[in-house]
Amino acid sequence: MAASQLSTSKLFTAFAICGVVWAALQGYIIHSFGFVWLTSVIDAVLSAVLLAIACWLINNNLRYYQPDKESYFYLFIWCAALAIACVAGCRYILPLFNLGQVYFNFLQQSLEIRFFTTFLALGWMAMISALWYTQLDHKRTEQRKTEAEKLARDAELYNLRQQLQPHFLFNSLNSINALIGFKPELARKMIHQLSDFLRGTLKKDEQLLVPLNDELAHLNLYLEIEKVRFGHRLQTEISCDKACGEAMLPSLLLQPLVENAIKFGLYDTTDAVTISVRAEVEDQYLVIMIQNPYDPKTSRPRKGTGFGLSGVQRRLYLIFARNDLMETHANDNIFTTIIKVPQL
Amino acid sequence: MKRALIIDDEPLARMVVLEYLQDFKDQIEVLQECGDGFEGLKAIQQLQPDLVFLDVQMPKINGFEMLELVDSPPAVIFATAFDEYAIKAFEAHAVDYLLKPFSKERFNKAIEKYLAISPAAVITKNTETLLEAAAQSPAQNERIVVKTGTKVKIIAVQDVEYLQADDDYVSVVTAEGAFLKNKTMAFFEKTLDPGQFVRVHRSYIVAISQITRLDPYEKDSHLAILKSGAKIPVSKTGYVKLKQVLGI
């Protein structure tokens, strides 16, 4: 960003120089018509100031709003209107300086040519601004893309670290250890689920978007393992119709959210807990709602590992360039996380 | 015969301990299994066991918080998955700690160690120092768990207005009222975030975010006026510390 600020200030300097040259040239031309220097300079400076204000307006306008193809026409009208305003400014302000009848006549006669030169100058300004900001925007998109790739990698690494290191893996192994004693069949099943789950987190990185069905299958492996660990205390409800199953979403997006829900659901109460995951397709969006009960009075501040919820939001932003795709609500002892994935 | 409790929220984890304990049938009797800290606390108070097998991560209140509420803590063998902060505490002070999943051999070693160092007084003291060490971990100082009558109350640290020394206890004052905790002022001064809480007086620790005004009071001392209207005496040294933290 520092580099682009530098180039912005360079651009500004270039425009300032152009403005000065423009004013000098105009002063010289008016002088060559036989007017005294004072008159020429006043005329030139006032015109240049008005033109600079108009340029600044156009430039600012384009900074926050990039015209699409149809609205280039409006840009044209904008330039024409500003040019008229500039010329009108000259027409009504210059006589106030009492520069003589001859000059006034000259001013009257030169209004048309003044309009066209101003219009031309504004048109240039608009074009350069539009190009400049489009290019800047392009650069930002590029940057976001590379960042998105990096974050997907980070997400994979995070998943690995999360799953391989701490509580989840060790506690699962401990459960298997217990099952081996009295239910060897179940122990074997759990080992397979655990391996499938870990393999899933390893290979998911390559394709960025996956169908919801795949993501849910992966999520189910995780939930099955957690259910063995927590027994009857953990229940889950997953609802997703046929159309939803085909909808696409970034891979490994749901598991951190559900993990978060389980963590706060299960550790916030001593009763049984139902975690629900509901998916539906709504106006070109795949909407997924994850709910868990929680206790607002005793809940620890939701800081977590710093990746859980905020990581998912960040990833959605980097992929879709929008910050409004994830929301959370807490009411009636239910914590809800909603994510919306645009369907392209 | 030693009497033991198993406190863990995962049923299968309790079963491992039960199974491994079969070999010590003649020395250790399991009184009860508990699925969370509340049950555990109740069972410890009622049954006064000699030994507790304890998990750290449990619903509502964790293993350390539960132990804090017990008047004279029994010997503790922790059985937990990896927890980088807690491990230091275990190494120094617990009878032993078992990292899940643990082997039969490792478990036997822990039991033998416990049986070898039985005198109860030594163990209680160990458990107390263990709690103090555990309280240094960041996860432990986000909230304070207190007993009110028979109920357990969890106070988020950001709800605390100030703490006041009260004989052998510390009174934790919040908007909901004051709660007694069997700890020392020095303990809280050490464990609470020094950027948020300052010991402004021998008998007071105050939450900086609650202070609205500092008024001069008598010679060399000040009064801190809190949002709630409470007036907290600030000693000369307390004032120096307070100025440091507030950057004035």
Question: Do the Cβ atoms of B100 and A266 come within 8 Å?
Answer: no
Q: Where are the alpha helices (DSSP H) in B138-177?
A: none
Contacts of A301 in chain B (CB under 8 A): 142, 156, 158
CA of A164: which chain B residue's CA is closest? B82
* pLDDT tens per residue, range B174-193: 998 899 988 888 888 888 88
pLDDT of res. A63: 78
A306 touches chain B (CB under 8 A): no
For the record, the structure tokens of A281 come out as: 């397709």
pLDDT of res. B84: 64
The chain-wide mean pLDDT, for chain A, equals 84
Side-chain-side CA neighbours of residue A239 (13 Å): 9
* Closest Cβ opposite residue A171 in set B81, B143, B158: B81
Question: Do the Cβ atoms of A174 and B154 come within 8 Å?
Answer: no
Task: Tell me where in chain B the CATH 3.40.50.2300 domain(s) lie.
Answer: 2-138
pLDDT of res. A270: 82
> Per-residue pLDDT averaged across B131-145, rounded?
69
CA of A262: which chain B residue's CA is closest? B59
Question: Do the Cβ atoms of A229 and B12 come within 8 Å?
Answer: yes
Nearest-angstrom CA–CA distance, A35 and A26: 12
> Per-residue pLDDT averaged across B138-146, rounded?
74
Question: What value, to the nearest 5°, has the Cα angle with vertex A70 and ends A68 and A74?
Answer: 95
Comparing A294-298, A330-334, B106-110, B199-203, the range with the smallest average pLDDT is A294-298
Q: Are B233 and B223 spatial neighbours (Cβ–Cβ below 8 Å)? A: yes
Contacts of A175 in chain B (CB under 8 A): 10, 12-13
Buried b (16+ CB within 10 A) or exposed e, A263-282: bbbbbbbbeebebbbebebe
Q: Are A250 and A341 spatial neighbours (Cβ–Cβ below 8 Å)? A: yes
Q: Which domains does chain A have, with CATH numbers?
A: 2-143 (no CATH), 166-342 (3.30.565.10)
Q: How many CB atoms lie within 10 A of CB B233?
A: 17
What three-state secondary structure class fits B203?
coil
Short-list A119, A23, A86, CA closest to A31: A23
> Per-residue pLDDT averaged across B122-149, rounded?
70
> Per-residue pLDDT averaged across A99-127, rounded?
87
pLDDT of res. A333: 86
For residue B174, which amino acid is it? T
pLDDT of res. B203: 92
A226 touches chain B (CB under 8 A): no
pLDDT of res. A303: 44
Contacts of A173 in chain B (CB under 8 A): 100-101
> Per-residue pLDDT averaged across B128-146, rounded?
70
* pLDDT tens per residue, range B206-223: 999 999 988 888 878 899
Tally the residues of chain B. Answer: 248
Q: Specify whether domain B157-246 bears CATH 2.40.50.1020.
A: yes
Confidence of residue A1 (pLDDT cuts 50, 70, 90): very low
* pLDDT tens per residue, range A19-48: 899 899 989 998 898 888 888 888 889 889
pLDDT of res. A304: 44
Task: Tell me where in chain B the CATH 2.40.50.1020 domain(s) lie.
Answer: 157-246
CB neighbours of A292 closer than 8 A, spacing ≥ 6? A261, A262, A264, A265, A273, A275, A334, A335
Q: Is the pLDDT of residue A250 over 80?
A: yes
**Does residue A300 or residue A274 have the better pLDDT?**
A274
Question: Do the Cβ atoms of A174 and B142 come within 8 Å?
Answer: no
Comparing A59-63, A79-83, A232-236, B27-31, the range with the smallest average pLDDT is A59-63
Determine which of B8, B12, B53, B148 to mutate to test the interface with A (most A C-beta atoms within 10 Å): B12
For the record, the structure tokens of B210 come out as: 């609650």
What three-state secondary structure class fits A301?
coil
Please give the share of chain B, as a percent, with pLDDT higher than 70: 85
Question: Do the Cβ atoms of B143 and A176 come within 8 Å?
Answer: no
Determine which of A164, A169, A173, A177 to mutate to test the interface with B (most B C-beta atoms within 10 Å): A177
For the record, the structure tokens of A333 come out as: 């002892």
* Closest Cβ opposite residue A270 in set B15, B60, B81: B60
The chain-wide mean pLDDT, for chain B, equals 85
Cα distance from B125 to chain A (closest Cα, Å)?
Answer: 29
pLDDT of res. A298: 64
Output the furthest CA–CA distance in chain B (Å, rounded): 70
CA of A162: which chain B residue's CA is closest? B82
Given 3-state DSSP classes, what are the helix, strand and coil percentages for chain B, each rounded to the nearest 5? 40, 35, 25
Question: Do the Cβ atoms of B156 and A301 come within 8 Å?
Answer: yes
The alpha carbon of residue B185 and the mean position of all alpha carbons in its chain are separated, in whole angstroms, by 14
Q: Is the pLDDT of residue A301 over 60?
A: no
* pLDDT tens per residue, range A189-205: 999 999 998 888 776 55
* Closest Cβ opposite residue A167 in set B11, B15, B57: B57
- Which residues of B fall below an 8 Å CB-CB distance to A? 9-13, 15-16, 19, 35-36, 38-39, 57-60, 81-83, 99-102, 142-143, 154, 156, 158
Contacts of A266 in chain B (CB under 8 A): 9, 59
A333 touches chain B (CB under 8 A): no
Beta bridge partners of B170: B165, B181
Contacts of B19 in chain A (CB under 8 A): 178, 181-182
Q: Is the pLDDT of residue A165 over 60?
A: no
Query: What is the topology classification, in CATH, of domain B2-138?
Result: Rossmann fold (3.40.50)
Short-list A225, A251, A215, CA closest to A167: A225
Nearest-angstrom CA–CA distance, B136 and B64: 12
**Does residue B4 or residue A265 have the better pLDDT?**
B4
A269 touches chain B (CB under 8 A): yes
> Per-residue pLDDT averaged across A252-277, rounded?
86
Q: Is the pLDDT of residue A220 over 60?
A: yes
pLDDT of res. B6: 96
Cα distance from A301 to chain B (closest Cα, Å)?
Answer: 8
Q: Are A146 and A153 spatial neighbours (Cβ–Cβ below 8 Å)? A: no
Q: Is the pLDDT of residue A275 over 80?
A: yes
Question: Do the Cβ atoms of B35 and A270 come within 8 Å?
Answer: yes
Q: Judging by DSSP bridges, how do beta strands A285-293 and A334-342 pair with one another?
A: antiparallel
Helix (H) or strand (E) holding A25: helix A2-32
* Closest Cβ opposite residue B16 in set A178, A229, A230: A178
